[in-house]
Amino acid sequence: MLYVQAVINGLLVGGVYSLMALGLSLIFGVMRVINFAHGDMMVWGMYLSYWLFVRLGVDPYVSILVTGAVVFLLGAVVQQGLVNRILEAPHEMQILLMLGVALTLENLALVIWGPDPRRVNTAYALRTYWLGPIVLDLPRVATFVLALALALALYLFLKRTDLGRMIRAASDNRVGALLVGTDILKVFALAFGIGAACVGAAGSLMSPFLPFSPSTGIFFTVTSFNIVIIGGMGSLLGAFVGGLLVGVSESLGAVILVPSLKELFSFVLLILILLFRPQGLLGGSR
């Protein structure tokens, strides 16, 4: 029963992981840029929710709208102002640039909010329900449902709207999209913004049950990397499934080993995937 509980908790956290990884997968899929600041953008989403909650009493599930928008702008500015300028530079320079952005964001959070771990203490933070022998906590369930809803909204946006089609066109064939008159740099800024908004919203969604500090960002970055590789780089469905899988494997790792070794499972999973199915579980051929 302990394991069933662990799997359920893992799935519930996995939903937000999926949303976070969808953002990274979108950014990589369209621009081929590895967003090393991904986790830091998430932490910014968490802190913005924290601020709105402490100062104005806005519930984190409502403040997603604000954090999503702010982190969207942040992402769009990073792409438009920085990455777009060095599209022709060697690959490692883009990595360096994103590392610089990550360093700046992480420490700016440290300057503004200090090093102490914080958490958004909502009134319902500790409310739980019993489903037979299984415990469900309200914030985790609400977070899971909202994360799924946002992931679905992103999917519909990319598949059904003109803007979404433009982004997918730029991702599938950059030159082709350029030839039919797509303003590729604007599309890039939009895509980075949307990817960032996903992770910013994921941050808000996690803030009610996960304590965070500026240095948490790097762990989310690495977790997002794991998920998109496991699921398949550039595959949205892969990122989604990978998120759930990593959520469950961490949760099981914490129960089977010790909590401080919970990531070991997902790293071993990552290495196995890299070796035997490098295109990822649901990725097409590279």
Partner 1 sequence: MKRRVVLGIAVAAALAVLPFRVPSNWQNLLISTFYYAYLGQAWNILGGYAGQLSLGHAAFFAIGAYTSAVLAIHLGISPWLGMVAGALLAALLSLGIGYLGFRFGLRGFYFILLTLAVAEICRLVALHLPILGGYTGLFINFTPDPWQFQFQGKIPYYFIALGFLGVASGIAWLIQRSKLGTYLVAIREDEDASEALGVDTFRYKMVAYAVSAALTAPGGTFYAYFQFYLQPNTVLNINHSVDIMIRPIVGGSGTILGPVLGSLLLELLGEFSRTYFAAGVAGLNVVIYGILLIVVVLFLPRGVYPTLTHLMRRPAAGRRP
Which CB, 11 or 222, lies closer to partner 1?
A: 222
**Dihedral, CA of residue 141, residue 144, residue 148 and residue 149, to nearest 10:** 60
| Closer CB to partner 1, 97 or 190, in the complex | 97
* Shortest Å, Cβ 96 to partner 1: 5
Nearest residue (CB) to partner 1, 19 versus 229: 229
29 Cβ neighbours under 8 A, 6+ residues apart = 171, 233, 234
Check if the beta carbon of residue 93 is closer than 8 Å to that of residue 86. yes
CB of 155 to partner 1, least distance (A): 24
Output 61 or 113, the one with its CB closest to partner 1.
113
d(CA 23, CA 273): 21
Q: How far is the CB of 245 from partner 1 (least distance, A)?
A: 15
* Residues 229/101, Cβ–Cβ less than 8 Å: no
| Residue among 106 and 137 whose Cβ is closer to partner 1 | 106
Report the nearest approach of partner 1 to the CB of residue 10 (Å).
18
State the minimum distance, in angstroms, from the CB of residue 261 to partner 1: 6
Query: Which of 164, 231 has the CB closer to partner 1?
Result: 231
Nearer to partner 1, 53 or 265 (CB): 265
- Which residues make beta-bridge pairs with 175? none
CB of 237 to partner 1, least distance (A): 20
| Nearest residue to 243 (alpha-carbon basis) of 46, 8, 13, 42 | 13
Packing angle between helix 38-56 and helix 217-231, nearest 10 degrees?
130
Q: What span, in angstroms and rounded, lies between the C-alpha atoms of 264 and 246?
A: 11
Strand partners, 134: 131
**Helix, strand or coil for residue 134?**
strand
Query: Considering the complex, what minimum distance in angstroms separates the CB of residue 225 from partner 1?
Result: 6
Which residues contact partner 1 by CB under 8 A? Answer: 28, 34, 82, 85-86, 88-93, 95-97, 99-108, 110-111, 114-115, 214, 218, 222, 225-226, 229, 233, 258, 260-261, 263-264, 267-268, 270-271, 274-276, 278
- Report in angstroms the alpha-carbon separations of 119 from 40, 53, 209: 16, 10, 7
